[in-house]
Amino acid sequence: MSSTHRAQKERRVRRALGAPGSRTWSVVAAVTGAALVVAAGRAPGQDAAGRPAGAPDAAVTLLVGRALDVGDGGIAARCALEAFRDGLCTGWRQQRVRATSRGAGSVLRGPASREGAGAARTVVLPTNSGGPLEIALAEAGRLTDVTVHDGHGRYVGGELAPRSRHWTNTEPLRAGELYTVRVGAQDAAGTPVGVTMAFRTSSPPDEGRLTVEFGPRPGTYGAGQIVTAALSRPVPASDRTARARVERALQVTSEPAVEGGWHWVDESTLHYRPRTYWPAHAEVHVTSGLDGVEVGDHDYGGPSDSTGFTVGDRIEAITDAESHEMTVRRNGKVIRTIPVTTGKAGFRTRSGIKVVLGKEYQVRMRGDSVGIKRGTSEFYDLPVFYATRVTWSGEYVHAAPWSVASQGEENVSHGCTGMSTAEAAWFFQTVREGDIVQVVNSEGEPMAPFENGFGDWNLDWRAWQAGSALGSDAPVPAAALPAVARHTASRLRPLT
C-alpha cells in the first residue's frame, strides 16, 4: 500500500470517528469494511504531550464484546487465518482494548497480552446488529462516560451498571451502520484515560425488509385523530420481542409533548393515540427508525416515509339521544346547540366516541346497504346532503329535511344523526377529519374500537396500554425526548 493511499484511509477513519478538531487522536489501525477501529484521545486535564498534568502514565484494559454475524460464510476462513483463541469465532467476540493516558489505544492480541500500540490489530469481522454491545473493565478502575452514536448522529441508549464497571446497550443497533463508541474511564488511582472505537454492523439483505406506511397524510386534523401504521408484512403476537422492537422504532413526537402509545390492532396494523385528546394546535411528527433494525432472526427493517400533521381547534360534538340534542364545543366552549333525531327502536345509533372520517356533499343512501330488504316499509333510497361520515359502515351526521318535525322531539332515523339542512351545512363546514363525535343515551350497541372507523377512544388508558408489546412500564426512547435532552439521555449513569 502506498503512503498516499494509507494517509487517505487514515483521514477517512478520523472522519468516521468524528474526532473534534480540538482533540488529538492517535489512529492505531485503519481498514475498510466491517472492522473494529481503535483510537485514543487526550482526556480532559492532559498536558500537551498527552499525559495528565502531574500524574504518572496510566492505562486501563477494556473488554469489548460484540455478537458476530455468523451467517457470513467467509468468517470461518478468516478466523482460521487469524487463529483467534478460545473459540471466539463461534458467534461472540470479546476483544481487549487498551486505553492509556498517553493516547496509545490498541486492540490487544490475547487475554494475557500487554502489547503496545505498535502491535495493534484490527479485527475484520461483521457485527450482528441484533446482538448486544458490551463494554467492561478487565481490571481495577471505573467507567466514567460511554456514548455510542451512528454516522447520522443518532445515539444508542444503554445502561451503566452499579459500581460503574460494565455497560451494555438497551436499544438495538442498526444493520449497515458505522458506529462510534467513546469511552472515558479512570484507573485504580483515579487517573483519566479515554479511547474511541468504531465498528460497522453487517448490511441487511436487500429483499423482504419490513417497512411501514403511516397515516394520516399531512394536513390539519381534529383533536381525536389517530396515527396509523400499516406494516408491509405481519408480525405475529407470539413474537413479542419483534413487536417490541417495531414499537420502539416507530416514533411519534409532538409539540407540546403528550403521553401516548401504540396499540396492536392486528398482526400488521398499529394505532397510536395520546392518553387524552391531542391539544389544540399541536404539531405531530411520525417517523420510522426501522431501517437497519433487526426485527427477528436475520429479519431487518427497511426505509419508510415519515408523516406529520397539525391539530386544529378542539371540536367536540356530543349528541344526547334521550334529549334529542347535539352540543358542539370549540376548545371547551359551547358554540351551538342543534335539535337532532337519532336511531329508532331496531336501528339505534351506536353509542360511544367516534371520529370524523370524511365529508361528502351528497351521498346516495339505500336501505339494502344496512340490511333492509327492498319492498319493505323500512326501505329507503334517496340523496342525502351535507353528510359527515363517522363509521365505514355508513353512519353519518347529515341533513334530514324529511324529519324536521321530529328533530328535538323523537328518534326516527335508521341509525344516522339527522338535522335540518341549514344545521347540517353549518356542521359540515365546521368540522374536519379527526374531530370528535360522541353519542350518549342511545341504547345502541357500543362503538367498536377498531372494526368500523376510529373507535379507539372508547378504550380506557389501561386497556389501550395492554395492546402494546412494551407494557405500561416501558421507558421512553431517547428519540422521543426533547432535543435538548437527547444527548444527556445517551450519556450513561450508574443504576441505583
Q: How far apart are the first and last CA of the chain?
A: 51
Is 398 considered catalytic here? yes
Distance CA 322, CA 327 (A): 13
Residue 299 CA: distances (Å) to CA of 44, 145, 235, 245, 290: 42, 32, 11, 12, 11
**In this structure, are residues 292 and 298 in contact, taking their beta carbons and an 8 Å threshold?**
no
Dump strand ranges (E) for 268-371: 269-274, 283-288, 294-296, 299-300, 307-311, 315-320, 325-330, 333-339, 352-355, 358-366
DSSP H or E run through 398: strand 396-399
Cis omega (within 30 of 0) for bond into 256:
yes
Beta bridge partners of 476: none
Selection from 256, 250, 247 nearest residue 223 by Cα = 256
Distance CA 321, CA 10 (A): 75
Helix then strand then coil, in percent of the chain rounded to 5, is 15, 35, 45
Residues 6+ apart with CB under 8 A from 195: 38, 39, 40, 41, 62, 97, 98, 99, 105, 182, 183, 185
Instruction: Spot the catalytic one: 79, 324, 414, 416.
Output: 416
Distance CA 351, CA 411 (A): 14
Selection from 44, 76, 40, 47 nearest residue 61 by Cα = 40
How many C-alpha atoms does 376 have within 13 Å on its Cβ side?
Answer: 9
DSSP H or E run through 196: strand 192-200
Neighbours of 60 (CB within 10 A): 26
Is 416 considered catalytic here? yes
Phi then psi dihedrals of residue 180, to 5 deg: -115, 130
Instruction: Spot the catalytic one: 149, 271, 324, 398.
Output: 398
**In this structure, are residues 319 and 413 in contact, taking their beta carbons and an 8 Å threshold?**
no
Cell of 128: 450482528
368: left (phi over 0), alpha (psi -120 to 50) or beta: alpha
233: left (phi over 0), alpha (psi -120 to 50) or beta: beta
Distance CA 203, CA 177 (A): 8
Active site residues: 398, 416
